[in-house]
Amino acid sequence: TTKKVLMLPGDGIGPEVMRQVQRVMDWMAKKRSVNFEITEGLIGGASIDAHKNPLTDETLADAMAADAVLLGAVGGPKWDDMPFDIKPERGLLKIRKEMGLFANLRPALVFDALVGASTLKEDVVKGLDIMILRELTGGIYFGQPRGIEERDGVRHGFNTLVYSEPEVERIARVAFDMAMKRNKRLCSVDKANVLESTVLWREVVERVAKDFPEVELSHMYVDNAAMQLVRNPKQFDVMVTTNMFGDILSDCAAMLTGSLGMLPSASLGAADANGARKALYEPVHGSAPDIAGQDIANPLATILSFAMMLRYSFDMGDDATLIEDAVQNVLKGGLRTADIMQPGMAKVSTTVMGESLISE
Amino acid sequence: TTKKVLMLPGDGIGPEVMRQVQRVMDWMAKKRSVNFEITEGLIGGASIDAHKNPLTDETLADAMAADAVLLGAVGGPKWDDMPFDIKPERGLLKIRKEMGLFANLRPALVFDALVGASTLKEDVVKGLDIMILRELTGGIYFGQPRGIEERDGVRHGFNTLVYSEPEVERIARVAFDMAMKRNKRLCSVDKANVLESTVLWREVVERVAKDFPEVELSHMYVDNAAMQLVRNPKQFDVMVTTNMFGDILSDCAAMLTGSLGMLPSASLGAADANGARKALYEPVHGSAPDIAGQDIANPLATILSFAMMLRYSFDMGDDATLIEDAVQNVLKGGLRTADIMQPGMAKVSTTVMGESLISE
Ligand SMILES: CC(C)[C@H](C(=O)O)[C@@H](O)C(=O)O
Ligand SMILES: CC(C)[C@H](C(=O)O)[C@@H](O)C(=O)O
């Protein structure tokens, strides 16, 4: 069967890292006889430039029709001064919301060969392997009412943090499922001592826990979670949290690894009657406009995002592992793009990194 | 003139660390002829036990009448299962709000003698000295509406993040003042690409900046700030942010130092006609119920909070420096409480640490 993939290279280094994924896909088509039907589309700044709109109805329709979407990165200084409503970020938030991608999987993984890249001491981060589940279509990102308005002559800016029981339940279920596939430990992060919205969050997570008696569940306040990630990140296996807390904590966790250019992510929707989920995969790093077009960006995070696609959208776990092993081996072989360069290693371009991965 | 100080030891290790401050105050009264008029009060769990209320009107009245309040710590497992509305935390949030303590000063400082205690590499944190200004009486902590309610048969939990222009302006002014007294660099942290409330925040900070042309102002999104704190914390001098973001980032920054037991904080209100501000000082660490009553807790964070009181409430900067230098010297001399113990150093009790500080 054909696998329909929509590629959205986006802005900055997006297109050039995407080209390396394309080569990996070509290789897989040939060597593993997988049939990818690839369409390309615009998102973010690239779409603003072409259509004055960071996400057109057409691209959205293509995304809805695809089996999986692979995104490069969006944004850049060129569009920084645009009004709030038509910035590149709007495209990203809209595609997440419209596709119903409520479960954002953000692994924080330290590759053995790159442990030295972390600002943390080696023993604190060696072997680190955390999976953060961030709720992605609710919470304060999308809550109504929101805006800026005058009240009694004074301007107020306001947003609403809101979660319903079903919203919490579905992300909690994904988190428990994930914990079952890993080390059966789940930490739910909230601020239940201050925010009623997360009192409800904690209550629902507790209830879902009854269906997963094997999983050891703990709760942690978000301020403490930020501390514990720095103090002893290896205490965590799977973490689950709200959209806003997940935005902050997953970036903090990503930086603990010291190699942002290596980290993939997946955003998944609900399973339909056939067990299929809408899904979008993207590297954690941004569009890095300062190095765009120079063939020096690290393509591995996007390639690893593609590996996540194979695992989560196409049930091709073996092929995903093949790619992940190839990444480990290329690193062991001493090849490095500039962002992860270390003394004594060989600095290579985006293209050479892609080629070497395919040889591997 | 007499300085009226209200001491609120609170729960857990609060009372025992507070006793060491009391000795420092006695010493100052004798040797530096400062007149402290000290009252004691209950807050948090201790107040719940005595009055079924984490903050009584009486304690609040004492706090309003005092020139400064020194707090130990609140909370503990004993009160964890209490209803949301009468938990120990309520006492803390209420005293902040009622006293109008909108400016929370949270230094993250690495003491040379303790640089090894950090989980981060020495060169990343040596000499670290950040001041985080957290807005403390607004934002999502206090915004209305809030609660849990049924809508169309589905339970929703909700909170409101709201800031008015004057609220942002007053914390911004404190931040710029602070930057002027330090290295003239201020980073304002928001999520202006997603939250309208922080679009207003950024706008107001920009406006206040016009009155401080010497200060170099930058803006950073909160997720990036969490990353940058881990990647290269020394890039920051003064940071200013919302109540919720400040809660998370200041704890993250505190943990970068590796020695929570050393970090003080101050919470200040608006200046009255005489330039006096309501003020509350407290260590960053919690009540640590697991080690309470064993005379092993580190009293230095509370003693340093008292030093902040001397500086910010009583304009006694020299005496504050005297205490801060004594802390440095005691550490250089090799004394350590258990939480900051290192090989080759002398492990001492809470009491001995207090005594040694006074000898110093
Ligand atoms: C670009 C921005 C809107 C986005 C977010 O806050 O979700 C980004 O930070 C992310 O984590 O994917
Ligand atoms: C105890 C809690 C309510 C409090 C807060 O969130 O403000 C604490 O974490 C702090 O930072 O002082």
* Structure confidence by residue, pLDDT tens digits, B133-179: 999 999 999 999 999 999 999 999 999 999 999 999 999 999 999 99
What is the SS3 string spanning B171-231? HHHHHHHHHHHCCCEEEEEECCCCCHHHHHHHHHHHHHHCCCCCCEEEEEEHHHHHHHHHH
Residue B83 touches partner A, C-beta closer than 8 Å: no
Helical axes A165-181 vs A196-209, angle rounded to 10°: 50
| Residues forming a β-bridge with B147 | B158
Predicted TM-score (pTM) of this structure: 0.97
- Can you tell me the mean pLDDT for B111-130? 97
Whether residue A75 contacts residue A286, with contact meaning beta carbons closer than 8 Å, is answered with: yes
Active site residue B221: no
Torsion, Cα A162 A166 A167 A169, to 10 degrees, reads: 120
- pLDDT, tens digit (0-9, with 9 covering 90-100), for B168-214: 999 999 999 999 999 999 999 999 999 999 999 999 999 999 999 99
Whether residue A122 contacts residue A153, with contact meaning beta carbons closer than 8 Å, is answered with: no
CB contact under 8 A, A254 and B227: yes
Q: How many angstroms is it from A121 CA to the middle of ligand 2?
A: 28
Minimum-distance CB partner of B254 among A191, A227, A256: A227
Give residues 115 to 134 of A whose Cβ lies within 8 Å of B. 119-121, 124
- Can you tell me the mean pLDDT for B72-89? 91
Q: How many angstroms is it from A247 CA to the middle of ligand 1?
A: 7
Q: Which ligand is nearest to the CA of B190?
A: 1
Residue in chain B closest to A145 (alpha carbons) equals B160
- Helix runs in B273-332, H state only: 300-312, 317-332
Q: Show the beta-strand stretches assigned E in A41-116.
A: 68-73, 103-109
Pocket of ligand 2 (CB under 6 A): A 193-194, 223; B 89, 92-93, 247
- Can you tell me the mean pLDDT for B286-299? 97
pLDDT band at B315 (very low <50, low <70, confident <90, very high): very high
Residue A197 touches partner B, C-beta closer than 8 Å: yes
Look at residue A239 in the predicted model and tell me its pLDDT: 98
Q: How many angstroms is it from B221 CA to the middle of ligand 2?
A: 22
Q: What letter would DSSP give residue A74?
A: -
- pLDDT, tens digit (0-9, with 9 covering 90-100), for B218-247: 999 999 999 999 999 999 999 999 999 999
CA–CA dist A46, A1 (Å, integer): 32
Q: Which ligand is nearest to the CA of A132?
A: 1
Domains of chain B: residue spans and CATH: 1-110+259-360 (3.40.718.10), 129-256 (3.40.718.10)
| Residues forming a β-bridge with A190 | A221
CB contact under 8 A, B223 and A191: no
Chain A residues whose beta carbon lies within 8 Å of the beta carbon of residue B231? 119, 255
- Can you tell me the mean pLDDT for A164-180? 98
Residue A102 touches partner B, C-beta closer than 8 Å: no
- pLDDT, tens digit (0-9, with 9 covering 90-100), for B45-63: 999 999 999 999 999 999 9
**Proportion of chain B above pLDDT 90, given as a percent:** 96
- pLDDT, tens digit (0-9, with 9 covering 90-100), for A232-290: 999 999 999 999 999 999 999 999 999 999 999 999 999 999 889 999 999 999 999 99
Helical axes B14-31 vs B350-359, angle rounded to 10°: 20
Chain A residues whose beta carbon lies within 8 Å of the beta carbon of residue B199? 84, 148, 157
Look at residue B85 in the predicted model and tell me its pLDDT: 87
